[in-house]
Copies of this chain bind each other. A is one copy, B any other.
Amino acid sequence: MPASTLPFTMVEYERRLTKVRAAMQEWEVDVLFVEDPSNMAWLTGYDGWSFYVHQGVLVFLDEDPIWWGRLQDANGAIRTCWMDDDRASGYADYFVQAKDCHPMEDLAAILTRKGYANKRIGVELDNYYFSAKAFLTLQKELPNANFVDATALVNWQRGVKSDEEILFMRRAARISEKIIDGILERIEPGVKKHELVAEIYADAVRGVDDSWGDYPAIVPLLPSGSDAAAPHLTWSWTSFEKGEATFFEISGCYRRYHAPFCRTVFLGKPPQHLVDAEKALVDGLHAGLDAARPGNCAGDVSRALHAELAKGGIERSARCGYPIGISYPPDWGERTISFRDNDNTELQAGMTFHFMPGLWMKDWGMEITESILVREGAAAECLCNRPRKMFVKD
């Protein structure tokens, strides 16, 4: 496609490819097959809702990547990838969801033709969309290949963001703020949840100024009252009620980049246990932000948080954050680092996380979170700028 309509400069795509090739050499991979749509987009610019069929990008050490997928989607690859048109390779439609053949037979033929049938082939063994059957088919078709588990090889290269990427995330953050502002304005006892979600979507996609909204990798989550004990319930036709807390987990999305943001809203006068939890949680966020500095490790953030929560008598076992950036459904996380006590990954300037210490207790829940940027010489920067609290609408 014309470089002028790519989301990023060619310098940026070259930076990414160089990083991935260095990792391939370190991981002893001769050719890498990437099926994760986020990794595909990050490396090549490919953007389309075609990940419900097998597709991927082949990364070589010594030639441009090949986009590989369903024949009809090659037209999409030609329109969105930076590589030359002849680097899009489509497989015949009869492979799609067929019982007697598998698209990986076509991929194996390409790998054989290019001389990799007996080489070290990296595959993302624990990634959405690269199914068990896909792997078994590749193994059968390429019996002399040496398959290397390259799960998250590309994801790890995505951790430290470039300035171009941070700009996109700041745009996503403006959209996240707009969504939360719209929620606070519209939520009232008696408003039906799906009606508010309709407005959330409209705000998310309209975007802010010239930051138009893309679809976030996760749908809005907004459980109320005792249902807020369950972090991943979606909406229904029920109404918001006086005397209930609802947490809103949303994200603006600008050209596939996210800035997730959660706030809790109480309608009426909140009970003391929620006020106490809010204080512990806000103190914990503050402590965690201060710990999220270059040179510290991921576990330092969760320990700082948990120390403050403990003062409020709150114990939680789930991880409290994960890296964010470019993403496709079903997850806006990068699936590398976790903010949990035993994760010793060193934090670096330019890393971005959703610092997400959701409280999901037996019969209540609360989410107050921040999308953060790790930077030199200061506590982490919050990408969104809205009061860090439980909002009360009485």
CB pair B206 A195 closer than 8 Å: yes
Question: Count of chain A residues with Cβ under 8 Å from any Cβ of B?
Answer: 82
Q: Is A317 an interface residue (CB 8 A)?
A: yes
CB pair A149 B133 closer than 8 Å: yes
Known: A97-B335, A232-B49. A205 touches B194 (CB 8 A): yes
Closest to A210 in B: B237
Closest to A213 in B: B194
CB pair A131 B133 closer than 8 Å: no
CB pair A73 B232 closer than 8 Å: yes
Residue from B49, B78, B229, B236 in contact with A219 in the complex, judged by beta carbons closer than 8 Å: B49
Known: A93-B317, A130-B132. A198 touches B202 (CB 8 A): yes
Give A126 to B127 CA distance when docked, in angstroms.
Answer: 13
Give A121 to B129 CA distance when docked, in angstroms.
Answer: 22
Q: For chain A residues 88-123, which have a beta carbon within 8 Å of chain B?
A: 92-94, 96-98, 102, 123
Residue from the set A131, A333, A358 with the largest chain B CB neighbour count within 10 Å: A131
Known: A202-B201, A231-B76. A126 touches B98 (CB 8 A): no
Residues of B within 8 A of A128 (CB): 52, 128-129, 131
Known: A131-B127, A201-B202. A338 touches B221 (CB 8 A): no
Give A132 to B340 CA distance when docked, in angstroms.
Answer: 26
A-side interface residues toward B, CB under 8 Å?
47-52, 71-73, 75-76, 78-80, 92-94, 96-98, 102, 123, 125-136, 149, 151, 192, 194-195, 197-199, 201-207, 210, 212-215, 218-219, 221, 227, 229-237, 317-319, 322, 329-331, 333, 335-336, 338, 340, 342, 358, 360
A sample of 17 inter-chain contacts (CB < 8 A) reads A49-B234, A51-B330, A52-B218, A72-B231, A75-B229, A94-B340, A102-B126, A127-B131, A128-B129, A133-B149, A135-B135, A192-B212, A194-B213, A198-B201, A198-B205, A215-B234, A330-B330
